Amino acid sequence: AVGADVTDRSSVADLFDRVVAGFGGLDIVVINAGVNLDRQSVEDSDPEAWETTITVNLLGAYYCAQVAIPYLKERGGGKIITIGSGLGHRGSPGSSAYACSKAGLWMLALQRYMEKHFRSLEIQMPMACSARWRAFRWERRALSAWVCS
């Protein structure tokens, strides 16, 4: 295993450099780091815990995707699988930071798809979530690998 601090872009870049050097390339990335450090109402929330939740869950995912994409392009494409949450679509009392971070993660996955679609990149970025939602597909099967259980 190769570890990194997803909140530090240089640590993420070093991670991917080591993986590519050690394994000869990159074909798939699973973005799974996540925390829920503030379980209070927005009014009673701890701004530092709120910020850390957003940093780990959303900026960490962005750093991983942003650094991984050039390596995936070198190999002709690949997959970046992001682990989301149904709370990113519906929220829940006491989960404002977590829900907002997962909503942003969902949009990051959609944005990457649109960039792939319109610029013909062979990189797929589906998202898996653990909510009790039915599997669905976007218009024209944009996120056909979206998995919800």
Residue spans of alpha helices (H) in the chain: 9-23, 47-54, 60-74, 87-90, 96-119
Amino acid identity, position 88: G
How open is the CA angle 5-9-11, to the nearest 5 degrees?
Answer: 45
Cα four-point dihedral sign 82, 87, 91, 94: negative
Q: Facing residues of 80 across strands?
A: 29
Q: Which residues are catalytic?
A: 98
Calpha distance 4→57 (Å, rounded): 14
Are the C-beta atoms of 13 and 30 separated by less than 8 Å? Answer: no
Give the residue among 43, 69, 57 at the shortest CA–CA distance from 122.
Answer: 69
